[in-house]
């Protein structure tokens, strides 16, 4: 694995200022765990406060608009989340694709805009249960990835692999307590790796981290993080409590080198 494991918490639509104590606890513990890179994506309303509260961990957004500014009531641009203290943005999460009709083209435009603003990207992809049962999961996920990546990623990767992280999140595993087998996760991560190498060459394509997301908990983290080509985890529900999230971070710390 080229980089340190990357463990990212996605708070989704959870959290008011009372949750900052969890962010603080995660940050304080992470200061002693340099083997792992830790980050949190709180809701927009807590980005600035979280950024002010923490010293070690990364802070990011869960979405941004593709436009730079203008008449988009209720939307937030990449420059705005950067200004609030975010260093990265999660794009293409299946809940955005489902709840807001985000297509691959929209995700690609958002990715382009966020990269141009100077944000790192966590790009999500993942299949439905129906697609997996039909035996089309790899074809679907790699197609989704290709269609969501703008051409500008290639140049950005020249300046550092941390520009892009891919998160494989099977939709049927998110928030359900169900997870794919380690063999299935490894097979999908290898297919994503092959796609990245084809798009960006051996060096840059191999250096991009691929996270697994979907019902990662302290008690299954070691097994899931040990799967081939898994460079960390994107964690929803279990990131809302410092105790649970740090259990996952500790599993990453204890992985064999
Ligand atoms: C997510 O939505 O990114 C996620 C992985 O959620 P959970 O960990 O709750 O399955």
Q: Are 47 and 17 in contact (CB under 8 A)?
A: no
Q: Cα(187) to centroid of ligand 1, in Å?
A: 20
| Residue with tokens 């990269």, as numbered in its chain | 115
> Out of 93, 138, 162, 229, which one is annotated catalytic?
93
Atom of ligand 1 nearest to the CA of 217: 8
Q: Are 43 and 9 in contact (CB under 8 A)?
A: no
Residue 168, strand partner residues: 125, 212
Whether 48 is catalytic is no
> Out of 138, 169, 189, 229, which one is annotated catalytic?
169
Reading the chain (257 residues) residue by residue, the pLDDT tens digits are 457 999 999 999 999 999 999 999 999 999 999 999 999 999 999 999 999 999 999 999 999 999 999 999 999 999 999 999 999 999 999 999 999 999 999 999 999 999 999 999 999 999 999 999 999 999 999 999 999 999 999 999 998 899 999 999 999 999 999 999 999 999 999 999 999 999 999 999 999 999 999 999 999 999 999 999 999 999 999 999 999 999 999 999 999 87
SS3 72: coil
H or E segment and range at residue 23: helix 20-30
Three-class HEC string of 129-155: HHHHHCCCHHHHHHHHHHHHCCCHHHH
The alpha carbon of 110 is separated from its chain's Cα centroid by a whole number of angstroms, namely 15
Q: In angstroms, what CA-CA distances link 130 with 124, 126, 136, 139, 161?
A: 18, 12, 9, 13, 33
Q: Where are the domains of the chain?
A: 6-253
Instruction: Tell me, using a 6 A CB cutoff, whether residue 236 lines ligand 1.
Output: yes
What is the CATH T-level fold of the domain 6-253, as seen in this structure?
TIM Barrel (3.20.20)
Residues counted in the chain: 257
DSSP E strand stretches across 24-107: 37-41, 58-61, 88-91
pLDDT in the model for residue 15: 97
pLDDT in the model for residue 1: 42
User: Which of the 8 DSSP states describes residue 195?
Assistant: H
Whether 65 is catalytic is no
Q: Cα(241) to centroid of ligand 1, in Å?
A: 13
Pick from 63, 236, 248 the residue to mutate for probing ligand 1's pocket: most ligand atoms within 8 Å of its CB: 236
Instruction: Tell me, using a 6 A CB cutoff, whether residue 213 lines ligand 1.
Output: yes
The three-point CA angle 83-85-87 to 5° equals 100
Query: Measured between alpha carbons, how far is 207 from 4 in angstroms, rounded to an integer?
Result: 11
Residue nearest to atom 8 of ligand 1 (CA): 236
Q: Are 111 and 91 in contact (CB under 8 A)?
A: yes
> What are the counts of helices (DSSP H) followed by strands (DSSP E) for the chain?
11, 8
Instruction: Tell me, using a 6 A CB cutoff, whether residue 215 lines ligand 1.
Output: yes
Q: Cα(7) to centroid of ligand 1, in Å?
A: 12
Q: Cα(98) to centroid of ligand 1, in Å?
A: 14
SS3 15: coil
Residue nearest to atom 2 of ligand 1 (CA): 236
* Nearest to 245, CA basis, from 229, 231, 254, 234: 234
- For 90: left if phi > 0, alpha if psi spans -120 to 50, otherwise beta; the answer is beta
């Amino acid at each position: 694995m080229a980089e340190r494991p990357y463990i990212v918490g996605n708070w989704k639509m959870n959290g008011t200022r009372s949750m900052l104590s969890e962010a603080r606890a995660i940050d304080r513990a992470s200061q002693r765990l340099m083997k792992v890179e830790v980050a949190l994506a709180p809701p927009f309303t807590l980005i600035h406060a979280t950024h002010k509260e923490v010293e070690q961990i990364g802070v990011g957004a869960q979405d941004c608009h593709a436009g730079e500014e203008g008449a988009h009531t209720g939307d937030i641009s990449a420059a705005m989340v950067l200004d609030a203290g975010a260093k990265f943005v999660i794009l293409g999460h299946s809940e955005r694709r489902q709840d807001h009709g985000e297509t691959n083209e929209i995700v690609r435009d958002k990715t382009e805009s966020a990269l141009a603003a100077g944000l790192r990207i966590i790009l999500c992809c993942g299949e439905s249960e129906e697609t997996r049962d039909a035996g089309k999961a790899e074809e679907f996920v790699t197609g989704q990835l290709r269609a969501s990546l703008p051409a500008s990623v290639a140049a950005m990767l020249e300046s550092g692999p941390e520009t892009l992280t891919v998160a494989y999140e099977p939709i049927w595993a998110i928030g359900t307590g169900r997870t794919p087998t380690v063999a299935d996760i490894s097979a999908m991560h290898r297919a994503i790796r092959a796609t990245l190498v084809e798009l960006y060459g051996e060096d840059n394509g191999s250096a991009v981290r691929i996270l697994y997301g979907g019902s990662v908990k302290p008690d299954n983290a070691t097994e899931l993080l040990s799967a081939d080509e898994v460079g960390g985890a994107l964690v929803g529900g279990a990131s809302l409590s410092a105790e649970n999230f740090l259990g996952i971070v500790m599993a990453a710390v204890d992985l064999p080198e």
